[in-house]
Structure 1
Amino acid sequence: MRKTTIMPYTELWAEEFERESDAIKNIFERAVLYHMGSTSVPAIGYAKPVIDILGVLEDISEADRLSADMERLGYEVCGENGIPGRRFFTKGGNERTHHVHLYEKGNEQIDIHLNFKRYLLEHPTDAKAYGELKLQLLQEFPDQHEEYQTRKQPFVSELAKKANEWAKRKD
């Protein structure tokens, strides 16, 4: 069973993203990689210490063809893992350290993830509320990772909706 761990924000997460993305770029040379998720938004204040990396590929079949190279980097190959068109990789087993989400250029999930991050970077009050929710849920469900995730989802979904509406207004 995975236990939820939350840590205060640290700039070391940005450094870890850079290190890991360099290794991933050795496999997917033409990929465009983004740091996403709570470890990429300082105003959230707290995050699971898991570096989320979003990768954009010209052709998603490249992810399938090179998955053995990701395994050599220590990643578990998880296929689409519930999101059509995604290739998902995790590192660290039950003590996860990294998630890699690969999409083919043009997949709508790319904008959804990037809009979410941009919105939180420009709306620190919402980001802080998200961090506070994480702490509250951690106190309520310290050993129930799935329940933590389930309870967090409505807030995240609402933030994602706000982020996408905000992004449309900006365009």
Structure 2
Amino acid sequence: MQIDEPVHLEPYDESWNELYRSERKRLLLAVGGLTKAIEHFGSTSVPGMTAKPIIDILVGVEDTSVAADEIVRRLKGNGYEHLGEAGIPGRQYFRQRGLHDYNVHIVQYGGELWNNNLLLRDYLREHPEEAQRYSDMKKHILERGAQTLLSYSDQKHAFVSGLLERAAAWAGA
């Protein structure tokens, strides 16, 4: 299981929301009884943002340790590759590559990972100037030579941390 993979960016595509809705339906059939909520997050969920054309889906569960084995079994049965925590404690990471690409992140519903990812998404949706700055920064990272997921993610980490701080201030957290 190799987590690193090539990355590229694409301009915002309105079909990303429909792809999310379609995959959400499949996920509900597969693991719906084990989840509290399913949300679209990441850059493909923010209108106008440049993004890796991979639909990120956040799945909130009551207790990740209780649901993990059953979710792993069911998602693998639906064509997802399980990559464990993949460097983020408290998350179970799955990906599916094909005609359309998906990442599924299983986290504790209402926990820090759940709240921070949705806060960042909502902040970027409400602040298009920040979404544009983030898009520009991601393009710049690729122009400087980051062509794989791990390098790309490492180079944008500080910027995303700053965005999250501004989002928390915006939300009054």
After TM superposition, is the score higher than 0.5?
A: yes
- The 2-side partners of 1:79 and 1:96 are apart by 21
Q: 1:129 aligns with which of 99, 121, 133?
A: 133
- AA partner of residue 123 (structure 1): H
Match of 1:146 in 2: 150
- The 1-side partners of 2:31 and 2:47 are apart by 28
- The 2-side partners of 1:48 and 1:92 are apart by 13
- AA partner of residue 106 (structure 2): L
Listed as ranges, the gaps of 5+ residues in structure 2 are none
Listed as ranges, the gaps of 5+ residues in structure 1 are none
Structure 1 length normalisation: TM-score? 0.88
Match of 2:84 in 1: 79
Q: Is the 8 A contact 1:3 1:142 kept in 2?
A: no
- Cα RMSD, aligned residues only: 2.0
> Stretches of 4+ moved more than 4 A in 1?
none
Structure 2 residue matching 1:54: 3-state secondary structure: strand
- AA partner of residue 116 (structure 2): I
CA offset at residue 83 of structure 1? 2.5
Match of 1:9 in 2: 12
CA offset at residue 108 of structure 1? 1.5
Structure 2 length normalisation: TM-score? 0.87
Match of 2:53 in 1: 49
Q: Is the 8 A contact 1:90 1:96 kept in 2?
A: no
Identity of aligned residues (%): 35
Q: 1:34 aligns with which of 17, 39, 46?
A: 39
CA offset at residue 106 of structure 1? 3.0
